[in-house]
Amino acid sequence: MNKKKAKLKFKHNSFEIIEDGDYVLCAVSGKQIHLQDLSYWNVDLQEAYYSPVEVKERIKLNKIK
């Protein structure tokens, strides 16, 4: 079974599927996130995160820059 990467537009309380697929990649860890499991994202950066751990890491990285 071939899985396809989806393309999403992240909104404040939801996301819009731009290109159909099964997963997106975490912007920090690179892990695959199945769309049904996607709970964490950043609207301004348009990035998905695997878990709160990656969210915290992204916040730390952004404060350094």
| Sequence letter at residue 46 | Q
Identify the band that residue 62 occupies on the pLDDT scale cut at 50, 70 and 90.
Answer: confident
Whether the per-residue pLDDT at 1 is higher than 90: the answer is no
Q: What is the mean pLDDT of residues 23-45?
A: 97
Which tokens in the block code for residue 25? 């990649």
d(CA 49, CA 10): 12
Identify the band that residue 44 occupies on the pLDDT scale cut at 50, 70 and 90.
Answer: very high
Write down the mean pLDDT value for the chain. 94
Q: What is the dihedral of CA 33, 39, 42, 45, to 10 degrees?
A: 20
Whether the per-residue pLDDT at 50 is higher than 90: the answer is yes
pLDDT at 63: 80
